[in-house]
Amino acid sequence: MANGLDDVVAADTVLSDVDGVGGHLTIRGHSLKELAGHWRYGQVVRLLFDGFFDALPGDSELEKAIGRARVEVFERLQPTLGQLAPLDIYSAMRAGISLLPDGDELADALRLVAAPAVLTPALLRLGRGEAPLAPDSRAGHAADMLRMLGGTASPALAKALDTYLVTVCDHGLNASTFATRVVASTQAGLTSAVLAGLGALKGPLHGGAPGPVIEMLDAIETSGDAAAWLRGEIARGERIMGFGHRIYRVRDPRADVLKAVVRQLGSGKETSSRKMGDRLAFAETVEQAALEVLRVAKPQRSIQTNVEFYTALLLEAAGFPKEAFSNVFAAGRVAGWIAHAREQQATGRLIRPQSRYVGPVPELVA
């Protein structure tokens, strides 16, 4: 057995399927391309939750309920925001979520869906000395998240962020989803399960990569020679952020969806749009250089672009600082975690594998 449980199937799920050879992602019977840019995040939350909660309302009623949950989370957590704000933004969000009730009802789930979208802009504003803005329960989830961050939300950016949230809503038994299912299998509440997912998502080998992607792009821009910079990293034994995947042996289909969104944002005539277009063109050059450097350095492994590379560009364009990129990832993935937690709970089976003891044996005492 490999240390990373490579190729081990540890759950049956109706939620999503990652085809790492064909490069396809299926979410509850729909291809990613069918959903991203066409379904709103609230609709995808409903798709994932369907069958896992009693009396789940229809799309628009559920979206309204998510809006009300944003308001409720803001009102509950506002008094503690000042104490959370000095922490790094991810830990502050996680600490805030840990204060929510730990139940298994739809209301608990909706508060958890709302929480990263509410806490992230509120904490960012506090960090820059501005008062947090209360949610607008009638706004779309992504639009409200942007409005709470900057006071306004252009329809184009709101649509781009919504597409991002849909794109990352679920992805098979990735590390954070597995962690979520392990905790859910103990019949702990949904908040405990989501906190496990949040812990796993933070690491740079999983959801912590897009911030470092921006650092890499900036460092390469300064160096002026992408291939030399990338070769230097590989020679030092570093990993190139935004590339490689445990399951995909071909390009991550999410990378193309997000790249198309960034391209769309960068196609306008305004200065901000032109800047985005230039940033995308530069990132594409870096991507090609990285793929070539990785092909030469690791010929035994097909290392392709993953979701995090264009996530970084999209979230930068949406106005989030790189420190908060993983928070926004969590704002999308939380729906998948909750659905997996409910699916696991429904099996009624505790996840409890075994380990093989390879330490010293006690001396036999006569």
Q: Which residues are catalytic?
A: 245, 308
What span, in angstroms and rounded, lies between the C-alpha atoms of 210 and 285? 17
Distance of CA 23 to the CA centre of its chain: 19
Report how far apart, in Å, the C-alpha atoms of 124 and of each of 22, 116, 149, 187 are: 39, 12, 7, 34
Where helices occur in 51-189 by DSSP H, the ranges are 59-77, 81-84, 89-98, 106-127, 141-150, 155-167, 175-185
Q: Is 251 in the site for ligand ACO (CB under 6 A)?
A: no
Q: Of residues 24, 33, 231, 298, which one binds ligand ACO by CB under 6 A?
A: 298
Tokens 């396809």 correspond to: 24
Three-class SS of 190-242: HHHHHHHHHHHHCCCCCCCCHHHHHHHHHHHHHHCCHHHHHHHHHHCCCCCCC
- Residue from 67, 207, 332, 336 touching ligand ACO (CB under 6 A): that is 207
CA 327, CA 318: separation in Å to the nearest integer? Answer: 14
Task: Tell me which residues in 62-81 interact with ligand ACO (CB under 6 A).
Answer: none
Q: Is residue 308 close enough to count as binding ligand ACO by CB under 6 A?
A: yes
Binds ligand ACO (CB under 6 A): choice among 122, 173, 193, 240 = 240
Q: CB 121 → ligand ACO: shortest distance, Å?
A: 22
Binding ligand ACO by CB under 6 A: which of 38, 274, 275, 301?
301
Cβ–Cβ contacts within 10 Å for residue 158, how many? 21
Please, what is the minimum distance in Å from the beta carbon of residue 147 to ligand ACO? Answer: 27
Q: Which residue in 206, 249, 263, 322 binds ligand ACO (CB under 6 A)? A: 206
- 292 CB neighbour count, 10 Å cutoff: 13
Residue 301: both structure tokens together: 């492994």
Query: What's the min distance (Å) between Cβ of 28 and ligand ACO?
Result: 19
Give the binding range for ligand ACO (CB under 6 A) out of 55-63, 78-86, 104-112, 297-305.
297-305
Binding span for ligand ACO by CB under 6 A among 60-68, 73-81, 88-96, 204-212: 204-212
Is residue 307 involved in binding ligand ACO (CB under 6 A)? yes
Interface residue with ligand ACO among 185, 306, 327, 345 (CB under 6 A) is 306
Q: Give the interface segment with ligand ACO, choosing from 56-64, 149-157, 199-207, 277-285 (CB under 6 A).
A: 199-207
Contact between 241 and ligand ACO by CB under 6 A: the answer reads yes
Cα end-to-end span (Å), the chain: 36
For Cα atoms 82, 86, 89, give the angle at the middle one, nearest 5 degrees.
100
- Is residue 335 a contact partner of residue 170, using CB atoms and an 8 Å limit? yes
Residue whose CB is less far from ligand ACO, 110 or 339:
339
Q: Shortest Cβ distance from residue 20 to ligand ACO (Å)? A: 10
Q: Pick between residue 155 and residue 237 the one whose CB is nearest to ligand ACO.
A: 237
What is the C-alpha to C-alpha distance for residues 236 and 251, in angstroms, rounded to an integer?
25
Q: Does 296 bind ligand ACO (CB under 6 A)?
A: no
Cβ of residue 138: shortest distance to ligand ACO, in angstroms? 32
Binding site for ligand ACO (CB under 6 A): 4, 204-207, 209, 239-246, 294, 298, 301, 303, 306-308
